[in-house]
Structure 1
Amino acid sequence: MPVWQALTEELADTGLTIVAVALESRGLDAALPYIEAANPTYPCLVDRQHVVAELFGMVNVPTAVWINEEGRIVRPPEPAGTNDAFRKMDPATGRLAAEDRQALRDERQRYLDGVRDWARRGDESPWALDEAVVRSRLARPRGEHELARVHFRLGEHLWELGHGDRAQAHFAQAVRLHPESWAYRRQALDLEQQGKSMGREYWEAVTALGDRHYYPPIIAPES
């Protein structure tokens, strides 16, 4: 969050508005400490049912969507300035080699520079995509994904009622039907036990990807 607050202040004269959305089935009480610690001046919302993720086809965090002042998407969901270098992290210590930390910093800087360029130049920025390109990059809903959404919602409802085991059965179905959704997977792990979303099962699933991406590469304009 500090990086988005800094960008909000830097680009205040452009009219750029950053809106943060926490996908958090535990609700405001779980998200509020992080929001208060960051003390942002931009809007921060808490999405208990992952509605925003479903509407925009988001499957991971951090993910960003760029929307212009006319309400048109100019960049569809993509990693918000991060990449797969984090996968080299030692799960036990959280440490990364210096070159991997630098790779993450470089990717974030490149992405933030893109936001700056778009905020100041609008549709003239090469980072702003035309409607046809946006449509081509948007994920198309599939039947199994809709069924996954139903299972996830049922799981949330059962969890709220205190039926944890029954909830986890539906979460497992949601993950099976939509394995690309790390948002479903991590939320299910966290609802099973707080903190588990970055635990052993999570890292085993990340490792099982092999040479497949966790974060798809951000497609930047050619320099």
Structure 2
Amino acid sequence: MPVWQPLHDELKDRGFTVIAVALDADEAAVREWATQERLTFPVLVDRNHLLAELYGFTNVPASVWIDEDGRIVRPADTAMGDDRFRAFSKVDSSIHHDLLRRWVNEGVRDLDDDAVRSNQVLPDDDTQRARLHRRIGILLGDRGDQVGRDHHLREAERLAPMDWTIVRGNMPLFGEDPFGNRFFEFVGEWMEAGQPGYPLRTGRDD
């Protein structure tokens, strides 16, 4: 998230604001981290993935553009703040940033309304059920029912095995390193499945 601060500073006088959303269960850790980084844009914590569901996030980092009237003018798509992970992500961050600057500074969108709709990823029944199971799991965990929590979190992964926000989001809850062996196993499975996710693929090198 800190990598978005320079872009926020650059465009804020044009009426643009970055709103960061952390899909984390540990609200206190996010608050501490955001305070240490001295971010000047809002940082929200979406423990139950409500915004992820509303805007169709299945992988992070990602962005959605919303205009001053509350309309989506660019649907969910991978968006890197810089190129430090380009070798892994294969995404050139400058492409997305330049499109964003053009929209904010000149009012020029790269997608019309029809293209926005056609590039939105709508959830199927299994994905909807997976999100419900994860939400129930988080609630049970808050109430101290670890067995029930783990059951529903695993069921969410079974129903949506390629959803990064669910599979990778669950890793810390199971005491797993979100950048550890299980993560790279998941990445391999995702690549073998054809890298399902956002159709726009803005800035992809491959």
Shorter-chain TM-score: which interval? Answer: 0.7 to 0.9
Percentage identity across paired residues of the two chains? 35
TM-aligned CA distance change 1:175 to 1:101, over 3 Å = closer
The residue type equivalent to 1:213 in the other structure is: Q
Report if the CA contact (8 A) 2:22-2:43 is conserved: yes
- Residue 75 of structure 1 aligns with which residue? 74
- Aligned residue pairs total 200
TM-score, normalized by length of structure 2?
0.86
TM-aligned CA distance change 1:48 to 1:133, over 3 Å = same
Instruction: Give structure 1 regions of 4+ aligned residues with deviation exceeding 4 angstroms.
Output: 101-104, 214-217
- Residue 136 of structure 1 aligns with which residue? 118
- Residue 204 of structure 1 aligns with which residue? 185
Give the Cα separation in 1 of the matches to 2:164 and 2:90.
22
Report if the CA contact (8 A) 1:206-1:214 is conserved: no
Report if the CA contact (8 A) 2:4-2:81 is conserved: no
What SS is found at the alignment partner of 1:11?
Answer: helix
Report if the CA contact (8 A) 2:96-2:202 is conserved: no
Name stretches of at least 5 consecutive residues in structure 1 with no aligned partner.
87-98
The residue type equivalent to 1:54 in the other structure is: E
Structure with the larger RCO, 1 or 2 (CA within 8 Å, 6+ apart): 2
- Residue 112 of structure 1 aligns with which residue? 97
What SS is found at the alignment partner of 2:73?
Answer: strand
Q: CA deviation at 1:70?
A: 1.8
The residue type equivalent to 2:3 in the other structure is: V
Q: CA deviation at 1:209?
A: 2.7
Mapping of residues 108-187 of structure 1, within 5 Å = 108-122=93-107, 124-125=108-109, 127=110, 129-187=111-169
Name stretches of at least 5 consecutive residues in structure 2 with no aligned partner.
none
- Residue 12 of structure 2 aligns with which residue? 12
What SS is found at the alignment partner of 2:22?
Answer: strand
Give the Cα separation in 2 of the matches to 1:214 and 1:147.
18
TM-aligned CA distance change 1:65 to 1:155, over 3 Å = same
